[in-house]
Structure 1
Amino acid sequence: MSEPWLSADDISAHLGVTKDTVYAWIADKAMPAHKVGRLWKFQASEVDEWVRSGGAETTGEAKSPA
């Protein structure tokens, strides 16, 4: 069974951030998202990998030691 597509509301709840933050990350930080008509859709696995790889870090934020 394939992974379900999530809405901006769903992914913001999944990450614990606002929907405005999600849209800012799409525009400024290349958050993985797919435009379907007028809507943005997300795969949780793609977004989780993006977060783990440091995509959501703020400028000047120190990376945690591995």
Structure 2
Amino acid sequence: MAEPWLSADDIAAHLGITKDTVYGWIAEKGMPAHKLGRLWKFQTSEIDEWVRSGGAASSSDHAGSG
């Protein structure tokens, strides 16, 4: 079965953040998102992998990087 496409509201709830944070992360941190017309759509597997790889971490959150 194909993975469903989620809205910004859905992905915000999945991550426990606000929709404004979702849009900020798309613009500033390269959060994986796909624009369909005026709507952003997300796949949970892509978002979870991005979070696990440190995509949502701020630059000060990376330990031992210097």
TM, length-normalised to structure 2: 0.92
The answer for unaligned runs of 5 or more in structure 2 is none
What stretches of structure 1 of length at least 5 have no aligned partner?
A: none
* Number of aligned residues: 63
The reply on whether 1:39 has 2:29 as its aligned counterpart is: no
- Map residues 1-66 of structure 1 onto 2, 5 A cutoff: 1-63=1-63
Deviations 1:15-59 (A, max 9, x none): 000000000000000000000000000000000000000000012
Q: Find the aligned partners of 2:62 and 2:32 in 1 and give their Cα distance.
A: 23
State the percentage of identical aligned residues: 75
RMSD, matched Cα: 0.8
Secondary structure at 1:35's aligned position in 2? strand
Structure 1 or 2: more helix by fraction: 2
